[in-house]
Structures are given as C-alpha cells and as structure tokens.
Amino acid sequence: MSRVLTLWQRLGPVSAHPTWRDLLRPGLGAALGLALAGMLVVAVDQLYPHALFLFAPLGATAVLVFAVPNSPLAQPWNCVVGNTVSALYTLVLLRSLPEWPQPALAALAVGGAIALMLACRALHPPGGAVALLTVLASAQLLPLGWHLLVPMAVLTAVLVLAGVAYHWAWGRSYLHQAHPPSPAQAPPSAGALALSNADLEQLLERFDQTYNMGPEDLGELLAAAEEQAIKRRFAAVSCGEVMSPQLLTVRRDTPLEEVADIFHEHLVKSLPVVGARGELIGRVQRADLFDWLWEGHRAHRRQSLWRRVRPRKLPTEPVAESLMREPEMRVQESTPMGDLLHELAQHSVQFIAVLRGDVLVGVITRSDVIRTLLALK
C-alpha cells in the first residue's frame, strides 16, 4: 500500500491548490488577450481580407503569458521571436524539401525550430506547435508565402502587450531584464544573500531550471526563504527580551544645550522625549540639533556689528520640544520580534521604542537585533 501511495505522490499533481484569484486571473487574462487579438483580426479584415488570422499555438502562448508570467519562456522576446522564427524556419524547410513526406517534414520542423529558438535565446514551447501547424496545414498556409510571418509576429505581440497591461493592473511583475546584469552585480533581493548573478545562474544550471526561472526570481525566492527562517527563529522571542532597558531620555522642556551634552557624551543618533509618567511623546535627532546649531551660527554671522554689541533682550531658551519629531516606530513589550523583521528590512530606523502600555521601557537598535540573531544560531 505504501508503494502505491508513493507512486501516486510521484505521478499525481505537484502544484498547490489554487485560490480563487489563481483561477480567475489567468483565465480572464487569456480570454481578454485573445479577444483583443480577435478584434484586431476582424478590424483588419475589413480593409485587407485574410491579412491576419488566429492560429492555435496562440492559445498556448496565452497560457504562458497569463498563467506563468515569471517563466523565462513567457517573456516578450521568447513569445514574439520564438513563434516568428519557428514559422520562418518551417517555411524555408517546406520550400527547400517540397517532395519529402509530411511526417519527416514535421519531425525536422519541430526539431529545427527548437534548435533555432535556443540559438536566438527565445525558447518558447508554442513555437514548436507553430512549426508543426505550418507543416500539417501547409496546403492552406504555404500559398501565403512570407506573409505568414505577419500574423505570427503581430498577434503574438498583441497578446504580449495585453499581458503587460493586464499584469500591471493586477500589481504583478511580468517584464524581466532583457540582458542580465554582469556577474559582478547582484539582484537587489540577492544582495543580503551575498550571492552574485553568476552564483544564481550556476544554481539554476545545477538543478536544470534555467528555462523555468530567472536569476532575479531565484534571488527573491532565496531572500524570502531566509527571511522566513529568521522570522521563525524570532517567533518565540519578544521585544521585551531583546530591548536595551538602559534609557537615555529627555523631557519636553529639556534645554537644547543639555540635549547637546547628552549627544556629545553618548554615541546615539536619536533621543526619546518622554512625559512626566515616562510616556513616549516624540524624539530628537542628533542631525536636527546640528542643523539648528549651524543655522544659528550662520544667522549670528550675518548680523551687523551694531546688532551684535548693543544690549538686547535674551530670547526664551530653546528646549527639546522645538526640535521634537514623531516617534519613528513603537511596539509593545510582548510583540514577537518576528513581526518586526519585514519593517526593519524595508525601512532604516534608528531605534524602535518598546512600550508597556504607553510608558517607554526600552529601545531596540539594529545592534540588539543582530546580537539576538547570532545568539539564536
């Protein structure tokens, strides 16, 4: 029984159960794309009869463009060039060997089309169907001559353009880089993995996935897997366990001279501003304080000599509230650290305020996160 179950697992479906979005999105997109191609055929037929016509492999192209847009086989270059060069090669073959039997021509057409698409870096499975269709329907298609290439290229391009617009409307990425970056460069998502584009390409070749996934997709997948693994490690760790409880804080009415002294004595970039009960109100940045000091120095230099030496009423002493910003990021003491990883990866924050209710009890810096991550490994 176990052998039967194992065999079924190997021969059965390997794809995950689709959601309603997974069912609706590709089906609706393919229908709209082919409808647009059909409308173009009807419109052109009014002026130039039989100039364009729908062909069966266009349906297979629609499957790739709308169902698996991330595949290298579904990219615009592969679709348009793959279908067109397959038709071109088959036309040349049919004209060169008109007396050969159809089965032999079909085999040569499909095999040669695959080799030509690979040579053009435009492998596209429907291109093989284009070659086979041209041989099987040669009685109807061969009289068209080189005009046969027009519907192959134009209608495929229409379907691709429809795919670009459709995936953009759904917020998905379809177009990939036409030319991969140099080996010294790495995709943005792979930078954290310390893997270059050449490393990713070697992994794809090692597992024979070159035509199923691009280096950028693999980089994003590996980065997401690493992020998920780190998140799992952090799931049992709360922010209260990671935070630094030794706090350097100021009040609303703390003079800026005192704030400057704190920044001078401690290597911190930001100071929390708290109220009478210790509740978090805001923060003062070192950079803002330096900007304020510099502007005051420049204003003083611009004053005339008379304004500098004459007696004048001293202004109110500036305090922390005058430079205060909103808190950058705050969490509760019991918040799992795993919930913060995405935010930390997307945004550069100087510290995360850890609260108990509304009272500030600690802060988390990137150093605290790194130290905890190393301790968990």
pLDDT for res 307: 47
pLDDT in tens, 211-247: 666 677 777 777 777 777 766 777 778 888 888 888 8
Cα separation, 132 vs 110, in Å, equals 6
> CB under 8 Å to 15, separation ≥6 — which residues?
none
pLDDT in tens, 115-133: 999 999 999 999 999 999 9
Give the closest residue to 330 by CA, choosing from 343, 345, 346.
343
pTM for this prediction = 0.56
Domain borders along the chain are 23-169, 239-376
| pLDDT block averages, 10 residues each, the chain of length 377 | 67 72 88 94 89 92 91 91 96 93 95 95 94 93 90 95 92 65 43 69 74 70 74 76 85 88 84 89 86 63 46 60 85 82 69 88 82 70
- How far is residue 128 from each of residues 62, 73, 289, measured CA to CA in Å? 15, 13, 68
Give the closest residue to 163 by CA, choosing from 41, 82, 81, 76.
76
pLDDT for res 296: 59
pLDDT for res 65: 94
Cα separation, 294 vs 76, in Å, equals 55
The CATH class for the domain spanning 239-376 reads: alpha beta
Could you give the maximum distance between any two Cα atoms of the chain, in Å? 111
